[in-house]
Structure 1
Amino acid sequence: MKFHTRRPTALAAILLSATLALTACGSDDTGSDSEGGDSGSGGGDLSMTMLPKNLGNAYFDTSTKGAMSAADELSIDLEEVGPETGSPDAQVSYINTAAQQGKDALILSANDPEALCDAIDEARSADVKVITFDADTNPECRDLFINAATSEGIAAKQLELISEQIGGSGEIAILSATANATNQNAWIEMMEAELAENPDYADIELVDTVYGDDEDQKSFDQTEALLQNHPDLKGIISPTTVGIAAAARYLSDSEFKGKVALTGLGTPNQMREFVEDGTVTAFALWNPGDLGFLATYAAAALVAGDITGEEGDSFDAGELGTFEVGADGVVLLGEPFTFNTDNIADFDF
């Protein structure tokens, strides 16, 4: 496991996935305007657009900070744009605009694996390189995918954590993001398969999967509903930073604190108080700042022709080191890392 320190605004780095999405909050470096958002790092020879799933989301604020840091190093003119809500339809107009503006590259976290492909195809036909990060499209729709961690690794880590926290037996539920979120669904499918096939989890039963749509209040309400509908529930996995924070907030002020375990994917800053007060024992994530940083370096290498996106291509990503393109044009950042009371004070993102 490598740890990086870039600068105070670039977040203590961890090579881990995910993404995921956090409680809505602003960012000094990546704020949005009142009409759908737009912030940038400018002055370079290359021009790129950063399109997260939605604005006002601290997870993507962090990934954009990392992207802006890389853009500064590479003298790239990079702007962030995006919708207020996380839906595929809301992203299409921004993809079209990037093509019309003749951007060199579009760095995209996709709200749907299929629905964006027509717009992406038009952008690519206009010589825009399309790099997905955090959440992918179908491989044929884009040039590269910057993956935070393997789906298998993320699913395995979350099951490992919940099993430890509930003593290896009992009912659990999943609080996910949106029903069509590519990464969330992949992780859930793998967790379901692992629960069915791994004898270590024979005494754990997944009783429900619900969706908070990456909205804080809806995720909070879904947590309450899970506990009402499943009185024997022993644990909740929330593989989304919005969901885990909302669920932790509910549990921390309820009779279920210390009785129902909660784990999933979150950031240290958003989860610190819940770890320190005993609501949450441990959770996992990768560094979204590094994910945006890596995606920008990959986009630059692709535009420059240093790589084509073929398996075996390699490129430099600054202080993160050298990375290789894998099968289906996937570049892997790292493996999930566990945060707990022993280490959470060491991180600031």
Structure 2
Amino acid sequence: MFSSIKKVMAATAITVLATTAAFAADKPKVAFVPQLIGIPYFNAMEAGGNKAAADLGVDFIYTGPVDTNPVDQLQIVQNLINQGVNAISISVLDASSIAPVVKAAEAKGIKLFTSDSDAPDSGRAVYVAQATDEGLGGAIIDELVKRVGEDAKIGIVSGEATASNLNAWIGFMKKQAAAKYPKLQLLEPQYAGGTAERAAQLAGDLMTANPDMKAIIAVASSTCPGVAQAIETAGKIGSVIGTGYCSPNTARSYLKSGAFGFTVLWDPAQLGYLTVWAGKQLIDGKPFAASNTIPGFDAPVTYDAKTGILLLGPPAIFTAENVDKFDF
């Protein structure tokens, strides 16, 4: 196992070295390390980051692990630090392990911050948030209750057990349920890692073990297809409503089939753009204002100095009726 991890680390280091060497030396460099490469959600963030880089005159480095492995992610971040990348953002897989790389970055004058998933106690420079964790957790519960009632049993299939953003959303789901819908029953989360196949298996097991269950929430974008396919395979369309934090392109066919009733998300391309914009601000030593006007954004982006959170905006609800208006 350790030999294979070392091989991945070495290959990643070579890739990052080759990538950074190709960039112009006179441009500031902003990197983003997602939780996982090769999925539509993070592909959209990459596209937004590339657009921001072109608009703002920076080089954008996008590199991440091939599966949701915190060890690999940290090694990639360390490689970027060793290369002297000016600003590095991370969608954190394991919040408890980030603090040492934040200190390593600071020692080299590098701005290290979080985006999409936070590590609030790590000393990061800023968190570029897609929406508040409370807003995301509350929105999905409120929308589900409209469809299944206030006393339904609801299953949860998440991604990595250590992902701070996913756990925060689940925590606020539970808080919203306890405060507003005391008869609602949220089952304990099942963790699928980063695979749709495992999510499908867990969702199927939940439906078998809980024939009276009314809904399943796919907390990670990578688990959305698996949950939806499990509902379709089980012939539960109409009796079990699927939902989750899924992009329109990922969920479109499932929204139209009825396996999903709705999904909750934001525009990850705008989140990627905002991430690179924030990195450029940090490199230039420009403080964030309470309200920031970003080129191409419909509304100002707010900043909370107390929490260090730069907020993209409120979550969006996608349904079969509006999903075709979006392409990400």
TM-score, normalised by the number of residues in structure 1: 0.84
CA distance in 2, matches of 1:57, 1:347: 17
1:81-107: per-residue Cα shift (whole Å, max 9, x none)?
Answer: 111121221112112111211111002
Q: Give the whole-Å Cα distance in 2 for the aligned partners of 1:258 and 1:272.
A: 17
Find the partner of 2:91 among 109, 116, 123. Answer: 109
Contact 2:88 2:113 in 1 (8 A): yes
CA-CA distance at 1:195 after TM superposition: 1.6
1:298 aligns with 2:290: no
Code of the residue aligned with 1:263 in structure 2: it is: T
Q: What runs of 5+ residues in structure 1 fail to find an aligned partner?
A: 1-33
**Displacement of 1:281:** 1.7
Tell me: higher relative CO, structure 1 or 2? Use CA pairs within 8 A at least 6 residues apart: 1
Q: CA deviation at 1:149?
A: 0.5
Matched, 1:153 2:135: yes
Which of 299, 324, 328 lines up with 1:345 in the alignment? 324
Q: Distance in 1 between matches of 2:142 and 2:293?
A: 33
Matching residue of 1:83: 65
Q: Which amino acid aligns with 1:291?
A: L
Quote the Cα distance in structure 1 between the aligned partners of 2:290 and 2:131: 19
Q: Is the 8 A contact 2:204 2:234 kept in 1?
A: no
Corresponding residue number in structure 1 for 2:145 = 163
What CA distance in whole angstroms lies between the structure 1 residues aligned with 2:234 and 2:155? Answer: 18
Q: Give the drift of 1:57.
A: 2.2
Q: CA deviation at 1:42?
A: 4.8
How many angstroms apart in 1 are the aligned matches of 2:36 and 2:105? 20
Give the match for residue 334 of structure 1.
Answer: 313
Match of 1:15 in 2: none
Could you say which residue in structure 1 is the equivalent of 2:244? 264
- Once residues 48 and 84 of structure 1 are traced to their aligned partners in structure 2, the CA distance between those partners, rounded to angstroms, is 20
Query: Residues 170, 313 of structure 1: CA spacing in aligned structure 2 closer, same or farther, 3 A cutoff?
Result: closer
User: What's the secondary structure of 1:135's corresponding residue?
Assistant: coil
Question: Is the alpha carbon distance of 1:315 and 1:101 closer, same or farther for their aligned partners in structure 2, counting shifts above 3 Å?
Answer: farther
- SS of the residue aligned with 1:233? coil
Equivalent-residue separation in structure 2 for 1:42 and 1:164 (angstroms): 51
**1:209-240 deviations in Å (ceiling 9; x for gaps):** 11111211111111111111212111111222
Report the Cα offset of residue 323 of structure 1.
3.2
What aligned pairs does 1:114-153 form with structure 2 within 5 A after superposition? 114-153=96-135
Q: CA deviation at 1:141?
A: 2.3
CA-to-aligned-CA distance 1:52-99 (integer Å, 9 cap, x gap): 112122211111111111011112111111111212211121121112
What is the match of residue 317 of structure 1?
294
| Distance across 2 between alignment mates of 1:177 and 1:267 | 15
Superposed counterparts of 1:1-349, under 5 Å: 35-36=11-12, 42-43=23-24, 45-198=27-180, 201-307=181-287, 312=289, 315-320=292-297, 322-326=300-304, 327-349=306-328
Q: Which residue identity is paired with 2:295?
A: G
Q: Tell me if the contact between 1:114 and 1:138 (Cα under 8 Å) persists in the aligned partners.
A: no
Higher normalized strand content (fraction of residues):
1
Q: Distance in 1 between matches of 2:302 and 2:321?
A: 33
Q: Is the 8 A contact 2:302 2:312 kept in 1?
A: no
Deviations 1:16-53 (A, max 9, x none): xxxxxxxxxxxxxxxxxx94466789546111222111
Deviations 1:284-337 (A, max 9, x none): 110111111001001101111112x6xx56654322264342122110000111
**Cα offset for 1:139?**
4.1
Whichever structure has more helix as a proportion of its residues is: 2
Size of the aligned set, in residue pairs, is: 311
Task: Flag the 1:99–1:229 CA change in 2: closer, same or farther, 3 A.
Answer: same
Query: RMSD over aligned Cα, in angstroms?
Result: 2.0
Q: Give the aligned residue type for 1:323.
A: V
**Equivalent-residue separation in structure 1 for 2:48 and 2:248 (angstroms):** 17
Q: Residue in 1 aligned with 2:6?
A: none
Instruction: State the TM-score, normalized to the length of structure 2.
Output: 0.89
SS for the counterpart of 1:319 is: coil
Q: Contact 2:98 / 2:122 at 8 angstroms: preserved in 1?
A: no
